Amino acid sequence: MADENTDVKETKQPKDKSKGMMLIIIVMLGVIIAAIVGVVILLLGQLDADPSEGQIVIIHETPLVSEQDIYVFPLNTTIQTNLLQPPGGARHIIRVDVALGINNTDEEARAAVVGMLREREASILDLITSTLRQTTRDEIDREGGSDLLADELLILLQERFDEQLIVRVYFPNIVTH
C-alpha cells in the first residue's frame, strides 16, 4: 500500500507542474496582449493629435527634391480675396502671388505638367482662392502659418490634378490687411 500512495503522489506532481506552467503562459500572453493594445492606443492617439496642442502631425509627405531640381512656374494672376472672418472678428483681405515648384529631373514630364498647368490655370486659381477664403488671418500670420498654407495647397493640387511632380507652393508676395 505504501507503494500505491507513492505512485499517486508522483502522478499528481507532474500535473501540478503543468498547471503552473500553463498559468505562467496565460499570464505572459495577457501581458503581451495588454502591451500591444497599449501601443495601438498610443499610436492612434498620436494620429488624431491636434497640431494646436504642440504635437507634430505629419499630414502628407512629398519626396525631397533639391532646389536646383525645381522649375518655378509662376501663376499669371495676383489673387486678392477675403479671408475667413472669425466670429466677432474683423474682416481681412489677402493679396498673394503664387508660384508652383515642378520637379525638373525629367524635362519631358516637366514640360507636360507645365502645359497642363497653363491649360488649367483658372481651376488652380479657383482652388487657391477657395482655400484662402477658408483661412483666417491669424492662421496665416502665426509663426509658420504661410508654410502650413503652402503645404495644404500642395496637397490639394496634387490630389486635384493627380500630379506628384508638383512639389512646392511658393508665395513670392503675400500681404494681409
- pTM over cut 0.85: no
* Residues 39 and 126 occupy one common structural domain: no
Q: Residue 50: what pLDDT? A: 46
| Grid coordinates of 71 | 522649375
* Residues 163 and 112 occupy one common structural domain: yes
Supply the angle between the helices 121-133 and 145-161 in degrees, to the nearest 10.
140
Q: Residue 129: what pLDDT? A: 97
Q: Residue 52: what pLDDT? A: 45
CB 70 within 8 A of CB 167: yes
Report the amino acid identity of residue 113: V
Note down the domain range covering 90. 67-176
- pLDDT score of 84 more than 70: yes
Residue 154 to residue 65: CA distance in whole angstroms: 14
Q: pLDDT tens across 112-167, in order?
A: 999 999 999 999 999 999 999 999 999 999 999 999 999 999 999 999 987 888 99
Q: How does the average pLDDT of the chain come out, rounded?
A: 82
DSSP-based three-state secondary structure for 97: strand
The residue ranking higher by pLDDT, 65 or 139, is: 139
| Grid coordinates of 135 | 483661412
Q: pLDDT tens across 15-43, in order?
A: 667 777 888 888 888 888 887 877 777 66
* Residues 39 and 74 occupy one common structural domain: no
* Residues 34 and 72 occupy one common structural domain: no
Q: What is the DSSP string of 6-53?
A: HHHHHHHHHHHHHHHHHHHHHHHHHHHHHHHHHHHHHHHHHHT--GGG
The 10 Å Cβ neighbour count of residue 131 is 15
Counted domains in the chain = 2
The residue ranking higher by pLDDT, 59 or 41, is: 41
> Would you say residue 62 lies in a domain?
no
Residue 63 to residue 156: CA distance in whole angstroms: 16
